[in-house]
Structure formats: C-alpha cells, structure tokens
Amino acid sequence: MADVADWPKWASEEVEIRPADPAWLRLGDRLRRELDAALSRWLVAPVEHVGSTAIPGLAAKPILDLQAAVANLDCAPAAVDALGEGWHLVPPDLDARPWRRFLVQVVEEVRTAHLHLLTPDSGRWAEQLAFRDALRANPRLVQRYAQLKQELAKKHAHDREAYSAAKTGFIMSVLREPVS
C-alpha cells in the first residue's frame, strides 16, 4: 500500500464539521437525479441521498453521501467511467468493506460527494435509509448526533476512519431502537 504522504490531498482531508446548510438537500437532490441518469443501466432502485447532509438541521462534513443499488458490484469501474471526470473509485482492498464499492467525487482537490454502490439485499442499504429516516423524524436525535459528531471531529480531526468508527455505537443504538 502507498504511503499516506503519496495520497492525493482529498484522500487525507481533515474531519471538519460545519453548521447545517439547507442547500445540502437541494444539492443532494440534484446529484441524485444526475446519478440516476448516468448510472441507469446498472441501477435496480433509485439513488438515495443518505448521510448527515440528508438530515435537515444536522451539522455535517460538507460532503454529500449517496447510495446506489446495483445488481452487482463488478459494475464499479464502468460506473466511474460513466460518471466522468472528478469521480474516483477507492480500491476495494483499501476501502476494506467488501459489501460496497466506494466512489469519491473531487472538485478542485476537495471531496464533494461520496457514492456507495451497494446491492439492495445488503444489510447496509436498508440500515443507511433507516438511520436517515429515524433522524429526519426526531429532532432530539439530530441534536444528540450533532453534538457527538462535533466532539469526535475534534478528537479525530486527522483520522477519518477513527471518526467514522467512533460513531458506530450511536448509529447502532438508533437502528436497534430509535430513542425519543
């Protein structure tokens, strides 16, 4: 594996949480429609805007997260070609999540979007939608999650993987039984 110093700038960006931006929902909807069109030959369900930018009022990294249901993950290289300039496929062995293929959109050396290619029968497809919907329905969960994200971003500013891993307990508690 290449040394982190050899990675592109966008691959090792700091974790930065920004206040909620209502534009994220509009941008997510526009990107979702663009992805639906560009990836139509592989999709088995409409693309979904998931992640923190899909939750009104939630502070987040300013990166749109979307997920696309595909019949087979082997379409990832062709999907990147169809999406065109600015999209990068993270090598599956580097991503280390065999249940998905992970694409990153980069504009001017900065991440702007993530696309998770998943099969619709993967547990992750339903979990990401359930978590998004639980937060959309419960402003108190949004507040608690925002506070956690801020704390974790300070603690793990230079380690995106640790930041993501540290959110898992909260996410799993919401998926098990949404807290009111």
Q: Would you state the pLDDT for residue 3?
A: 53
Reported CATH class of domain 4-176: alpha beta
Please say whether the beta carbons of 134 and 178 come within 8 A: yes
Q: What is the pLDDT of residues 69-99, one digit of tens each?
A: 999 999 999 999 999 999 999 999 888 899 9
Q: What is the pLDDT of residues 164-174, one digit of tens each?
A: 889 999 999 99
Q: What is the pLDDT of residues 91-150, one digit of tens each?
A: 998 888 999 999 999 999 899 999 999 999 999 999 999 999 999 999 999 999 999 999
Contacts of 101 (CB under 8 A, 6+ apart): 73, 76, 79, 89, 90, 92, 95, 116, 117
Q: Would you state the pLDDT for residue 126?
A: 95
Q: Where are the domains of the chain?
A: 4-176
Q: What is the pLDDT of residues 12-22, one digit of tens each?
A: 567 899 999 99
Edge-first strand listing for the sheet containing 110-118: 48-50, 64-69, 110-118, 100-107, 87-89
Six-digit token string for 61: 């990294």
Q: What are phi and psi of 174, to 5 degrees?
A: -65, -40
